[in-house]
């Protein structure tokens, strides 16, 4: 039994029709023709609390991204390519039609279906300014009107809606955070002054958690408290967190550095800021359009842009880096035990995807330090591994068969660091094609691991290094090569990325994943993921300040899936050195069986 993840199929199509009918009745009562129901919550979070699961409550769809548009006479659920099949299975398609985003965007669907002269309603707390501009353009094309609602219409009709989460808010000790609240606030205020801003709305709870060295548990897998903060360039910041969840320790740790206030005091505080004519930075990625409206209506100047905290949080300090390394060493013991167990058990042919995910979680729990998994494990056998965002449920659960590939992408939340690792394993004999593809993915992984690049380089500039070995074979993968990662925070953290869209400059101290892959639909999938740390590199004879990556994750890469003749000497040397480091670091702390397994799993190729 997994403690931190569920494999149940949540929601069911049956509930949709009645709830949609109730929503339509509410629309009629208000003289509205339709309502937009995004998956996002007030903070545009990846994981949302139960009381913000409006989309799944209404439609039955439980994917992590999607938008429903319910009109009087028709309704659509627009989802991206990851969720096409899932949407078909989870919703009552006779009442709400699943629509593929790549073919018809939310905006295109609205433009084509909203009758001219009618009003489409939306909740201004669930859309960013950018998102709203797109909705406006769509409604314009339809000849309709866009109408904000004061209270979300789903909340009006959702009888048993759960209360807002109230997980305790606790301090994140300086021994893990590495920088005091005071020092962080000084840096933020300095930045606000430099940018001639009077205040910052912290709409991203990750940034609130980082700034005030607080952690919570309001959403799954990310230890943060939901709430807002206001940080003026001069004077005392305010934290809008339900007092019922703020522990005494958290209050004491923040001390006199910020005021705690009721969440209900947040909107009036925006009005007050606006009333003073303040220029207020609102994060364009996570800030709801309601924030800007409120400030503007009161006479202030909303300034849409990046919350400067995001970039500060992305660059880890030495305490966070040491914490992450300790977390990785700890996690690696659990992962090594799991991999050894897998090699022992999988040949029986009896293991399922859920068995494996539960086993890995159990090994992590045995570290004694696991706070949560950092996301539900992607435990995928055979063709399921070809779905990069697969999540196993009781109904999709496959047996792990011989001569096939098994992929597990998982991570842990420890108080000193967050981990994220993917390994691709073979049971029995791989085909020559599998070895070829896996080796190309590995070559791409090594190209990132070994990359050196000048200060000022973005993730976009190095992303193709991970793809080149696949491109040479006429292949590619359809996701980014790497995402940022938090320090006992979100497993997906911006703004840095290694991806076509990664336009943030990489800086020493940033942490990212390095995870190229290959997916053969209906057959198998491959991904090799380690976390890496950006670090300065001194190169003799060079004339530029250079950066490179230090790999943080410790786990063998399956040698049975490597075709050694495809590796050049430098790549083989990297792999052997990596495996030697893994062996030397982990062996002393392992049981005899796992140590023997590790010895074999990390034997040199060269």
Q: How far is the CB of 281 from its own copies (least distance, A)?
A: 18
Decide if residue 604 touches its own copies (CB under 8 A): no
Q: How far is the CB of 546 from its own copies (least distance, A)?
A: 5
Applying CB under 8 A, among 159, 543, 565, 592 the residue interacting with its own copies is 543
Q: How far is the CB of 545 from its own copies (least distance, A)?
A: 9
C-beta of 42 vs 463, nearer to its own copies: 463
Angle 170-172-177 (CA atoms, 0-180°, nearest 5)? 170
Q: How far is the CB of 339 from its own copies (least distance, A)?
A: 30
Applying CB under 8 A, among 460, 508, 566, 573 the residue interacting with its own copies is 460
C-beta of 505 vs 585, nearer to its own copies: 505
C-beta of 103 vs 344, nearer to its own copies: 103
Rounded to whole angstroms, the Cα distance separating 269 from 384 reads 49
* Residues in region 464-523 near its own copies by CB under 8 A: 464-465, 468, 471-476, 500, 520
C-beta of 306 vs 475, nearer to its own copies: 475
Go through the chain and tell me how many residues it has: 606
Decide if residue 267 touches its own copies (CB under 8 A): no
C-beta of 544 vs 603, nearer to its own copies: 544
Q: What phi, psi does 244 have (nearest 5°)?
A: -65, -20
Decide if residue 540 touches its own copies (CB under 8 A): yes
Q: How far is the CB of 137 from its own copies (least distance, A)?
A: 13
Applying CB under 8 A, among 162, 542, 604, 606 the residue interacting with its own copies is 542
Whether residue 341 contacts residue 357, with contact meaning beta carbons closer than 8 Å, is answered with no
Rounded to whole angstroms, the Cα distance separating 406 from 23 reads 43
Q: How far is the CB of 287 from its own copies (least distance, A)?
A: 23
Applying CB under 8 A, among 147, 269, 452, 573 the residue interacting with its own copies is 452
Q: How far is the CB of 291 from its own copies (least distance, A)?
A: 24
Rounded to whole angstroms, the Cα distance separating 68 from 332 reads 41
Residues in contact with 121: Cβ distance below 8 Å, sequence separation at least 6, in sequence order: 27, 30, 32, 34, 35, 36, 146, 147, 148, 149, 153
Q: How far is the CB of 105 from its own copies (least distance, A)?
A: 17
Interface with its own copies (CB under 8 A), residue total 30
Rounded to whole angstroms, the Cα distance separating 24 from 527 reads 44
Decide if residue 194 touches its own copies (CB under 8 A): no
Buried b (16+ CB within 10 A) or exposed e, 192-206: beeeebbbbbbbbbb
Decide if residue 431 touches its own copies (CB under 8 A): no
Rounded to whole angstroms, the Cα distance separating 58 from 158 reads 9
Q: Which 3 state secondary structure label does DSSP give 116?
A: coil
E-strand stretches of 206-266 = 214-215, 228-232, 238-240, 259-261
Site string for its own copies, 365-384 (x = CB under 8 A): --------------------
Residue at token pair 């076509």 = 500
Decide if residue 432 touches its own copies (CB under 8 A): no
Rounded to whole angstroms, the Cα distance separating 471 from 468 reads 5
Whether residue 180 contacts residue 459, with contact meaning beta carbons closer than 8 Å, is answered with no
C-beta of 244 vs 432, nearer to its own copies: 432
Instruction: Choose one: 17-25, 41-49, 523-531, 541-549; the region binding its own copies (CB under 8 A).
Output: 541-549
C-beta of 29 vs 468, nearer to its own copies: 468
| Structural tokens at position 78 | 């627009």
Instruction: Choose one: 256-264, 281-289, 347-355, 451-459; the region binding its own copies (CB under 8 A).
Output: 451-459
E-strand stretches of 101-206 = 119-122, 145-148, 170-171, 199-202
Please report which residue ranges of 346-453 form alpha helices under DSSP H. Answer: 353-365, 432-450
Residues that bind its own copies (CB under 8 A): 451-454, 457-458, 460-465, 468, 471-476, 500, 520, 537, 539-544, 546, 568
């Amino acid at each position: 039994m997994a403690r931190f993840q569920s494999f149940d199929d949540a929601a069911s199509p049956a509930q949709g029709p009645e709830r949609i009918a109730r929503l339509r009745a509410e629309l009629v009562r208000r003289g509205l023709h339709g309502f937009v129901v995004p998956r996002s919550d007030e903070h545009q979070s990846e994981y949302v609390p139960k009381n913000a699961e409006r989309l799944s409550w209404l439609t039955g769809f439980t994917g992590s991204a999607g938008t429903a548009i319910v009109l009087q006479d028709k309704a659509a659920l627009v989802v991206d390519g990851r969720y096409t099949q899932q949407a078909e299975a989870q919703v009552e398609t006779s009442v709400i039609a699943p629509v593929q985003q790549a073919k018809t965007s939310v905006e295109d669907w609205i433009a084509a279906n909203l009758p001219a002269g009618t009003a489409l309603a939306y909740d201004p707390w669930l859309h960013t300014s950018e998102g709203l501009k797109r909705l406006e353009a769509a409604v314009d094309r339809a000849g309709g009107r866009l109408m904000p609602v004061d209270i979300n219409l789903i909340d009006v009709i959702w009888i048993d809606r759960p209360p807002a989460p109230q997980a305790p808010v606790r301090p994140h000790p300086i021994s893990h955070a590495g920088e005091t609240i005071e020092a962080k606030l000084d840096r933020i205020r300095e930045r606000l002054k430099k940018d001639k801003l009077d205040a910052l709305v912290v709409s991203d709870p990750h940034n609130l958690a980082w700034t005030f060295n607080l952690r919570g548990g309001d959403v799954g897998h990310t230890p943060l408290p939901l709430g807002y903060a206001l940080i003026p360039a001069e004077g005392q910041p305010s934290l809008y967190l339900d007092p019922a969840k703020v522990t005494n320790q958290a209050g004491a740790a923040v001390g006199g550095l910020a005021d705690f206030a009721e969440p209900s005091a947040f909107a009036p505080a925006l009005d007050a800021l606006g009333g003073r004519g303040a220029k207020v930075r609102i994060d364009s990625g996570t800030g709801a359009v309601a924030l800007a409206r409120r400030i503007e209506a009161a006479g202030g100047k909303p300034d849409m842009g990046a919350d400067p905290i995001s970039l500060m949080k992305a660059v880890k300090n030495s305490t966070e880096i040491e914490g992450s390394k300790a977390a990785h060493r700890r996690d690696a013991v659990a992962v090594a035990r799991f991999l050894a167990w897998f090699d022992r058990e999988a040949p029986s042919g009896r293991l399922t995807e859920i068995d494996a995910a539960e086993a890995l979680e159990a090994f992590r729990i045995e570290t004694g330090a696991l706070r949560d998994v950092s996301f539900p494990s992607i435990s995928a056998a055979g063709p399921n591994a070809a779905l990069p965002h697969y999540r196993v449920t009781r109904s999709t659960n496959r047996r792990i068969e011989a001569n096939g590939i098994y992929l597990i992408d998982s991570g842990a939340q420890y108080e000193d660091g967050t981990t994220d690792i993917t390994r691709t394993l073979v049971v029995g004999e791989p085909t020559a094609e599998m070895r070829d593809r896996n080796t190309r993915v590995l070559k791409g992984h090594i190209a990132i691991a070994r990359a050196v690049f000048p200060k000022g380089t973005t993730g976009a500039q190095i992303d193709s290094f991970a793809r080149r070995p696949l491109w040479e074979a006429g292949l590619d993968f359809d996701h980014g090569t790497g995402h940022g990662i938090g320090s006992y925070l979100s497993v997906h953290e911006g703004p840095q990325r290694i991806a076509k869209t990664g336009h943030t400059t990489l800086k020493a101290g940033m942490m990212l994943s390095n995870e190229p892959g290959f997916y053969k639909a209906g057959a198998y999938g491959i991904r090799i993921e380690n976390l890496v740390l950006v670090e300065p590199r001194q190169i003799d004879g060079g004339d530029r300040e250079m950066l490179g990556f230090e790999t943080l994750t410790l786990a063998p890469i399956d040698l049975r899936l490597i075709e050694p003749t495809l590796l050049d000497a430098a790549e083989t040397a990297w792999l052997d050195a990596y495996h030697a480091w893994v062996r030397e670091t982990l062996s002393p702390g392992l049981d005899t069986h796992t140590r023997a397994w590790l010895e074999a799993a990390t034997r040199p190729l060269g």
